Amino acid sequence: MSETTPQVVRFHYTVSEVGQPPTESSRDGEPLAVLLGTGSLIPGMEQALVGRAAGDRFEVTVPCDQAYGPRDEALTQRIPKKYFPHPDHIKAGQTTVLQTRQGPRPVKVVKVGMSVVDVDLNHPMAGKDLHFDLEVVEVRDATAEEIDHGHVHGEGGHHH
């Protein structure tokens, strides 16, 4: 088997939980550009984009284990209120962003106590089967520099 050059794919997407209205779309703005094979996409979406050509428009349903994985019910944490940006306004059910050592992380508030807050650290899309509407805008070979950096340069990618 010969080595193939990694591909850069630029595409529009609309995503929804199966049976639900769309939650996110690139169609209001610029298409997303990704370097395939770098793990920047969920596995089910990456598989769906391999071997496509510009102009392809298709829909794909990605089961949760090929998306953000199953929900882990043990992935809740009790955190002191002082770590929240607006501790007096926290309500159960809302999503807020916590600063962690790994960077900002969205969490869902499960329960608010006197001085602590229980949060759910699962990805908001964990445990959900997702439906994607995809339209490929451009497919090209990655440049040596892009392969070296592990991300796309130029349109839809990094500018540096």
List contacts with Zn ion (CB under 5 A). Answer: 149, 158
Q: Which is nearer to Zn ion, 7 or 77 (CB)?
A: 7
SS3 120: strand
What's the min distance (Å) between Cβ of 59 and Zn ion?
32
**64 DSSP 8-state letter:** G
Give one word for 39, left, alpha or beta, with left for phi > 0 and alpha for psi -120 to 50: left
Instruction: Please report, for residues 45, 85, 89, 91, 136, the alpha-carbon distance to residue 81 in angstroms, rounded to integers and kept in the order given.
Output: 37, 9, 10, 12, 45
What's the min distance (Å) between Cβ of 159 and Zn ion?
9
Q: Which is nearer to Zn ion, 105 or 153 (CB)?
A: 153
Chain position whose Cβ is nearest to Zn ion: 149
What's the min distance (Å) between Cβ of 32 and Zn ion?
16
What's the min distance (Å) between Cβ of 124 and Zn ion?
28
Q: Which is nearer to Zn ion, 73 or 145 (CB)?
A: 145
Q: Which is nearer to Zn ion, 16 or 40 (CB)?
A: 40
What's the min distance (Å) between Cβ of 15 and Zn ion?
26
**Is there a contact between 133 and 60 (Cβ–Cβ < 8 Å)?**
no
Q: Which is nearer to Zn ion, 33 or 48 (CB)?
A: 33
Instruction: Please report, for residues 27, 85, 87, 92, 154, the alpha-carbon distance to residue 38 in angstroms, rounded to integers and kept in the order given.
Output: 24, 33, 38, 36, 17
